[in-house]
Chain A
Amino acid sequence: MSCQEGQPEALATLDFAALFASSIHEVKNQLFLLLNAVEEVSQETWVSEHASARIALERLDRGGCQIGQRLTRLLGLYRIAQGHYQLDIAYHEAAELLQDVVLELRLLQGEHGTPELIVEGGGALYGFFDREIVQGILLNAVHNALRFCTGKVRLSAAAEGEDLCFRVEDDGPGFPPELLAAGGVQTKLDLRGGGTGLGLYFSVTTAALHHKQGRNGAVRLENGGALNGAVFILCLP
């Protein structure tokens, strides 16, 4: 069908962003039902007896979860752009959040071999933040670290002044200089190099939604750190 001339009026006035958002939403719901089916099959006794079936199902589950997380981030950005995003600021222990992140990772990890994940700090350390958002930011950072590390990733939380700071460090080659040039601060989507940079963009945007008395949450990128590689830092006021 050619729409060169006289593009249908209905199509021209269509709000594609809204259409995409609601489609993504539906896809996410369907994905959940599919993942349920996968989990159901995984419980069958014959599956445990067939290594190839088990591995295939695990891959399905892992891939599905990752798709789900990406869609969630997209929907999150859409809501923020629409001004509909309502932060759910509550009081959480940093250690519990780290536990949640590791839990999600255990489900997703695997294809990168088994790098060592060091988790430190966060006990008896509390902060006010949106749990889902911070978990999403850290998951994304740890995924990146797992991709570039040579053997170790360190996930930690500590108080810095009045802020609560989370760090994700790896022993890889570090961030490329052009990314660090802007002080590690990315303010627009970087579509180069295959990746969309969506993860980092999401992190910067949502970190900034946390604020207290004029101070905002922020993301910083550095090289060096405890493992002499890339260092991702999320600080929340």
Chain B
Amino acid sequence: MATFPGSRNAHVDFQNKTFLVVDDIIGVRTSMRITISTFGGVKIDMAANAADAINKIEHRNYDIILCDYSLGEAKDGQQLLEELKRRRLIPNATIFMMVTAERGYEKVVSAVELAPDDYLIKPFSGEVLRIRLERLAHKKTFLAPIYDLMERQEIHKAAEMCDQRLQAAGPYLLDVLRLKGELLLLISEFAKASQVYEHILSMREIPWARMGLAQAQYFLENYAAAAEGFQQIVAGHPNYLSAYDWLAKAYTALGDEAGAQRVLMEGVARSPRTLQRQKDLGETAYLNEDLDTAQGAFEAVLEFGKFSSFTEPEDFANLSRTFLDKGEYDQALTVMSNARKAFENSPQVMLHAAVMDSMIHDKAGNKEAAERAFGEARVLFDGAAKKPESLALDMVRACFQHGDQAAGEEITQNLVKNNHDNPAVLKRTEQMFQRMGMHDQGKDLIRTSSREVIALNNRAVKLAQAGDLKGSVELLMQAADQLKANNVVVLNAAHAILTYLGQTGWDERLASTVREYLDTVKQRDPQHKKYLTLAAMYKDLAVKFGVTR
């Protein structure tokens, strides 16, 4: 047997490992402690529910988490795992083992994208638990070099490391292939990712591999093939819920909004408590003018999100806007008044409420209240740091309702310029103008505004092609400073500067600008593909020029 680190016959010392046992039944927690102690574990903490577990995990690093799938009334084990991964509270090296009394839990485990490292079906002995944990510990050790690179965001190198590990993979062949596929998707190597997934699928039809292939096809803009793949997963594995969301995205990309809504409704029927899916459904139904479905979905977001930190003032505005369009003005006002209470009159909620109120009062015929709210909205909007797209759109609509054409057009131009490559935003903008009976004017505004951004980009590319890299950089920096909210523009500028630095040598002033640009995007979208690529490029350049910071 090979003796690489993580060789499977190496002994695992559980005495130094930290354990967290999550179970809602105190008797089970106690007996798990006894079971763990039979193979030497002594550092054992207990949590009675998901919230308790998160609290403990935030304050201490655990090597091994043993979690029961059913945790009573609140979040179940799977939801806990998803939150831990989404919030990056546990590193890849942590072992997360799901415990379940129910064979049927596998339906969930085998179907979801985010599976635990392993699961155990009750009843089990301490010896079985020990063997399983030892195997997992060995696997984690084998994969550790890849995980380390991933933690440091060196995704390209992590993908290369997968190839090295594949030569010695043995029992971990599939784990390494899966990681490699995921990493290639992260760095936008979609064609290579497709190859990895096709290779796996040639060995066996496995749902997550089918999922990976369809995602790669989606990003390669082969939407029809992607939709077919997602459909296949939904048909064979109806509990693979993220497949519904992706299928909806593929339908949207194919221009089939009705199909997207249908699929989201199926997903919501299976798991009504997923806020993002309800939100997507609400927005898609609203776009499809199916206001009843939109209302139901937006209400569900508020209902199920009541006690979580995931609802935002925007969610209330979505529901209020639906009521407004249905002509139910009292309801629309009540929703925003609830929002003020829920967010304790924060500046953000006051802005949303003022914008909505100004439109609702206007439609309801309360001209005085409408004017007052609109005045407040104008002041708050100008001073707001954060302006989500839906808020900007509401503001535009309020402006036109109150006869302030100039402000409405200006906000539209800004919105479009900052989202010139985001078809969803452009579509919603166009539809809003259509609703206001200003379809042609809206289309014009969108076309001219996005053309401006594209033209600017093209000018920069031409300068670069003509050899004037410096001019190109300056132009793109101007654009980035104007359109800070446009990830594409900001990253193009960063890319141009990095290319320039690569050719002319290190310049600390420009380098710090790059860092600022990259941070801007990272804060909004830490997984942005091009951001990751450029962050790696920056690191490589810094190393090349011997700059360490």
Residues from chain A with a CB closer than 8 A to the CB of B516 are none
Listed in ascending order, the chain B residues whose CB lies under 8 Å from chain A are 27-28, 30-31, 34-35, 101-104, 106-107, 109-111, 121-123, 125, 127-128, 131, 135, 170-171, 173-174, 203-206, 237, 239
Residues from chain B with a CB closer than 8 A to the CB of A40 are 30-31, 34
Listed in ascending order, the chain A residues whose CB lies under 8 Å from chain B are 25, 28-29, 31-33, 35-37, 39-40, 43, 64-65, 68, 72, 75-76, 79, 84, 86-91, 93, 96, 99-100, 103-104, 106-107, 124, 126, 128, 132, 212
- Contact in complex: B123, A35 (CB < 8 Å): yes
Known: A36-B27, A36-B31, A86-B107. A99 touches B121 (CB 8 A): no
Q: Closest chain B residue to A28 by CB distance?
A: B101
Known: A32-B101, A103-B127. A88 touches B28 (CB 8 A): no
Of the A-B pairs whose beta carbons lie under 8 Å apart in the complex, a sample of 16, sorted by A's number, is A32-B101, A32-B122, A32-B123, A36-B28, A40-B31, A65-B123, A72-B103, A84-B107, A86-B107, A86-B110, A88-B106, A89-B204, A103-B127, A104-B128, A107-B127, A132-B106
- Contact in complex: B102, A87 (CB < 8 Å): no
Whole-angstrom distance between the Cβ of B472 and the nearest chain A Cβ: 49
CA distance A72 to B127 in the complex (A): 20
- Contact in complex: B110, A91 (CB < 8 Å): no
Grouping DSSP codes into helix (H, G, I), strand (E, B) and loop, the A interface class, with mixed when no group exceeds half, is: helix
Tell me which of B103, B110, B111, B205 has the highest count of chain A C-beta atoms within 10 A of its own C-beta. B103
Residues from chain B with a CB closer than 8 A to the CB of A96 are 135, 171
Residues from chain A with a CB closer than 8 A to the CB of B171 are 91, 93, 96, 126
- Contact in complex: B104, A84 (CB < 8 Å): yes
Known: A33-B28, A36-B27, A65-B123. A100 touches B131 (CB 8 A): yes
CA distance A177 to B94 in the complex (A): 53
Residues from chain A with a CB closer than 8 A to the CB of B106 are 86, 88, 132
Residues from chain A with a CB closer than 8 A to the CB of B34 are 39-40, 43
Tell me which of A32, A33, A36 has the highest count of chain B C-beta atoms within 10 A of its own C-beta. A36
Closest 6 CB pairs of A and B: A88-B110, A91-B174, A36-B31, A128-B204, A32-B122, A86-B107
CA distance A39 to B27 in the complex (A): 12
Sample of 16 more A-B contacts, CB < 8 Å, known A75-B104, A84-B107 = A25-B102, A33-B28, A36-B27, A39-B31, A40-B30, A40-B34, A75-B103, A84-B104, A86-B237, A86-B239, A88-B110, A93-B171, A96-B171, A100-B131, A128-B206, A132-B121
Partner of A76, one of B103, B131, B203: B103
- Contact in complex: B101, A99 (CB < 8 Å): no
Whole-angstrom distance between the Cβ of B39 and the nearest chain A Cβ: 13
CA distance A36 to B514 in the complex (A): 59
Tell me which of B31, B121, B173, B237 has the highest count of chain A C-beta atoms within 10 A of its own C-beta. B31
CA distance A171 to B170 in the complex (A): 34
Whole-angstrom distance between the Cβ of B407 and the nearest chain A Cβ: 55
Tell me which of B35, B125, B204 has the highest count of chain A C-beta atoms within 10 A of its own C-beta. B204
Partner of B206, one of A28, A33, A36, A89: A89
Residues from chain B with a CB closer than 8 A to the CB of A43 are 34
CA distance A84 to B102 in the complex (A): 13
Whole-angstrom distance between the Cβ of B29 and the nearest chain A Cβ: 11
Residues from chain B with a CB closer than 8 A to the CB of A29 are 101, 122
Whole-angstrom distance between the Cβ of B244 and the nearest chain A Cβ: 16
Residues from chain A with a CB closer than 8 A to the CB of B111 are 86
Residues from chain A with a CB closer than 8 A to the CB of B121 are 72, 132
Q: Closest chain A residue to B174 by CB distance?
A: A91
Partner of B203, one of A32, A103, A128: A128
